Structure 1
Amino acid sequence: MVCFCFLVDQTKKVKQSKPVAGSCSRCGGGASVADMITQTRFCFVPFYWKSWKAIMCTFCGAMLKSYR
């Protein structure tokens, strides 16, 4: 019997962010526009990157809206 085990993970990182007018609907904290990058790795080797923008809460870290 042969068993294959592959490790695939995905990480989301904030490259930079700027504050915007408005507040979080969940906690009432301030909001910011963030340039995000998503990296997918297969067996610890990155093979896919995607950049996108999101509006995030600066206090609780919730993603309020994403622009893909």
Structure 2
Amino acid sequence: MTVNNSANLSEEYFLSYLKLVIEARSFSLEQAQDYMIKNFFKNNSYMYGKDSYCNFLQAIETLK
């Protein structure tokens, strides 16, 4: 997925992305979270801003 660095990414964006990773790779939620932090955020939680990272964490809580 292409990401525009200037916009805050929504919880809905991360819900869709996490579901895609879980389904495509047969990952658990925890594995998908680790994958996203490593590959999407490049081990930098605030790469796309604090609001985007908070929305990512909220999406994880929603999926629990």
Q: TM-score range by the shorter chain?
A: under 0.3
Structure ID, larger Rg? 1
The answer to which structure has the higher strand fraction is: 1
Higher relative contact order (CA 8 A, sep 6+): 2
Please identify which structure carries the higher helix content: 2
TM-score using structure 1 length: 0.20
TM-score (norm 2): 0.20
